[in-house]
Chain A
């Protein structure tokens, strides 16, 4: 069970003078249970790529295969695919429209023609998954909530469809640090629960480094790098060349090494870095 992209090519404004190739020769697989990060600059094609995953856009060439079904081959199956692959857009709070939080979250399950009991239990479950007290929030108007709360309601709206894959496009854009940490810890918890697959799209290295176990770097519509976070971040020079930063801590290690330190270069979190730097300082003192 996986999402497979085969030789994907996607072109914007075909047949006009403004034609641009957004994706070119993209091959990748999202395995079940993965926590995959897709990073890339604005305009690198990452948002386009994830819209192909649930059939909102169709590739000009190539195929997307979700759990063995080719996307778009049968229009009637699109709804199933959109249920399987839950896509949370950037600023998802702008999609809220119902009078109450519960009704809004129920919109997705309602479209799946489920029974009322099933819908209710899914709404409750989804809202609790994103950290709400169901009874307190269900009758509030989504428009009275804070920005971070609205976003969690919107994410619950997608979770209520019980997707096997959850794709989040810049889920923390515009949130304050507290809201960001809260959301990330909830996403992490979600991923921890059983064989749930999460794809996180971001241009922030810091976010990706902390969470994911695989990274894909998109650059100008092509897959530029693939690997574990450690593998990717050890190539900090290359990342910088294509205009992506590395996590601050990796940068510090890089600069220290330039000045004669000898610390391993695949460090991505502060705790590990502290230990390594201390070790290095002690070693140098003893010499």
Chain B
């Protein structure tokens, strides 16, 4: 049942994009999102597509994996498209049927929005495709560090994320085991109506929660036994360091961003 499930969508190969500092990638992704919302004309999208193409090709992630990120939000894109088509007023009416009116402006607006969403998802999924979850949390922690002064528990947040990620596969395995044990006692998880199915989950969920709490308890104990006491003065095994590749990436990105701004001003 859980055999085909992978955690996150990290695609582990070696590429210039993979080896970028996660902080650089996170900031670039944010700036990329901002740049998308600055765009006002279809032509400018060519810059975005060109930039994204360079990024995807150099990341060595197969194109279909990047597209896969679109699958869960396909319906959101579709609905946005339809709403935009129907709701945008315009002068030239292309098609009319009762209250449904499709105008040239509506069509343009719909295409514009759909393209923006598609590019947005492709760009952001490239971040998770090329960065392992652990590096990602490292990067987030590092970027949140300046906010510690105003009380943001950066280290604790990152540690929580790391632990959560670490335990997803463990809990999946546990779920499968308990499921099998209850099936051996004649439990049925696959048939019946919704209410019955929900009820049938109790023999699975109760042991799962108990074991999750037990594990959490044991982990806390083990961490304490090794003198863990939060972020203060804690050094890391893997230091984040900017390298030549990072500066090159930033350089390329700044050019891209400048082009977007320039096209907006014109």
Contacts and interface: CB of A to CB of B under 8 A. Distances in A.
A95 interface: yes
Nearest to B190: A75
B178 A111 contact: no
B211 A94 contact: yes
Nearest to B203: A97
Contact of B186 (A13, A96, A108): A108
A96 B207 contact: yes
B265 interface: no
A108 B185 contact: yes
A97 B180 CA distance: 14
Contacts of A13: 3
A49 B3 CA distance: 18
Interface string A155-174: 00110010000000000000
Contact of A95 (B3, B181, B186, B188): B181
Contacts of A86: 184
Interface string A64-102: 000000000000000100110011110010111100000
Contacts of A157: 185
Contact of B177 (A54, A79, A89, A96): A89
Per DSSP, chain A at the interface is helix
Contacts of A132: none
Contact of A92 (B3, B181, B188, B211): B181
Contacts of A89: 177, 180-181, 184
A158 B180 contact: no
Given A95-B207, A96-B207, A97-B206, A107 B180 contact: no
Given A89-B180, A95-B181, A107 B207 contact: no
B184 to A, nearest CB: 4
Nearest to A111: B186
A151 to B, nearest CB: 12
Nearest to B191: A75
A143 interface: yes
A9 B182 CA distance: 25
B185 A161 contact: yes
A134 B261 CA distance: 79
B207 A83 contact: no
Contacts of B178: 94-95
A27 interface: no
Interface in A83-132: 83, 86-89, 92, 94-97, 107-108, 111-112
Contact of A82 (B3, B186, B210, B211): B186
Given A89-B177, A94-B207, A95-B207, A111 B184 contact: no
B160 interface: no
Contacts of B186: 79, 82-83, 107-108, 111-112, 161
A107 B206 contact: no
A107 B184 contact: no
A203 B186 CA distance: 28
B184 A158 contact: yes
Interface in B172-203: 174, 177-178, 180-188, 202-203
Of B177, B180, B184, B202, chain A has the most CB atoms within 10 Å of the CB of B184
A54 B184 CA distance: 8
Contacts of A256: none
B187 A107 contact: yes
A51 interface: yes
B211 A107 contact: no
A110 B210 CA distance: 23
B172 to A, nearest CB: 14
B119 to A, nearest CB: 31
A242 interface: no
A166 B260 CA distance: 71
A143 B255 CA distance: 63
A54 B182 CA distance: 12
A56 interface: yes
A223 B75 CA distance: 52
A96 B178 CA distance: 9
A195 to B, nearest CB: 21
A287 B178 CA distance: 63
A143 B203 contact: no
A56 B179 CA distance: 10
Give the 9 A-B CB pairs with smallest separation, nearest first: A111-B186, A97-B206, A108-B185, A95-B181, A87-B184, A89-B181, A97-B203, A56-B180, A97-B207
Interface of A: 13, 51, 54, 56, 79, 82-83, 86-89, 92, 94-97, 107-108, 111-112, 143, 157-158, 161
30 contacts: A56-B183, A82-B183, A82-B184, A82-B185, A82-B186, A83-B186, A86-B184, A89-B181, A89-B184, A92-B181, A94-B181, A94-B211, A95-B207, A97-B202, A97-B203, A97-B206, A97-B207, A97-B210, A107-B182, A107-B185, A107-B186, A107-B203, A108-B185, A111-B185, A111-B187, A112-B186, A143-B210, A157-B185, A158-B185, A161-B185
Interface of B: 3, 174, 177-178, 180-188, 202-203, 206-207, 210-211
